[in-house]
């Protein structure tokens, strides 16, 4: 529901990853993990397209607080959701490098 109606697709996808992974752990049902992986792949695809289109704005967006989602950032959601594939992307790694070295 939040995927279809939400404007922030990356945030919605990462929330779905978080929910499905938690549910997968609770029920030990691989279908939840598969759904989590699908949503993480969507988030990665959108992120990479955004980064290709406007790298500077993408990097800013990764750490921008999103009021509609409780002022969480994409990076915070990815960490909470253990979205390792998302975190491994070049744009996120640039953000982490900037945090570390600046």
The pLDDT value given to residue 98: 87
Q: Say what the pLDDT of residue 3 is.
A: 52
pLDDT > 60? residue 93: yes
Phi first, then psi, for residue 72 (nearest 5°) are -85, 155
30-83 confidence digits (pLDDT tens):
999 999 999 999 999 999 999 999 999 999 999 999 998 899 999 999 999 999
| 97: its two tokens | 């490098």
pLDDT at 99: 84
Domain boundaries along the sequence of the chain: 2-101
Look at the block and give the residue holding tokens 């752990």: 25
Smallest Cα–Cα separation from 58: which of 43, 69, 68, 39? Answer: 43
């Amino acid at each position: 529901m939040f995927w279809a109606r939400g404007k922030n697709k990356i945030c919605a996808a990462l929330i779905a990853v978080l929910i499905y992974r938690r549910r997968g752990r609770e029920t030990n049902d691989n279908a939840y993990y598969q759904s989590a992986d699908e949503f993480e792949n969507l988030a990665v695809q959108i992120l990479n397209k955004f980064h290709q289109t406007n790298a500077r704005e993408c990097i800013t967006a990764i750490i921008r607080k999103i009021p509609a989602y409780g002022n969480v950032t994409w990076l915070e959601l990815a960490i909470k959701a253990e979205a390792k594939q998302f975190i491994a992307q070049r744009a996120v790694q640039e953000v982490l490098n900037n945090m570390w070295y600046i």
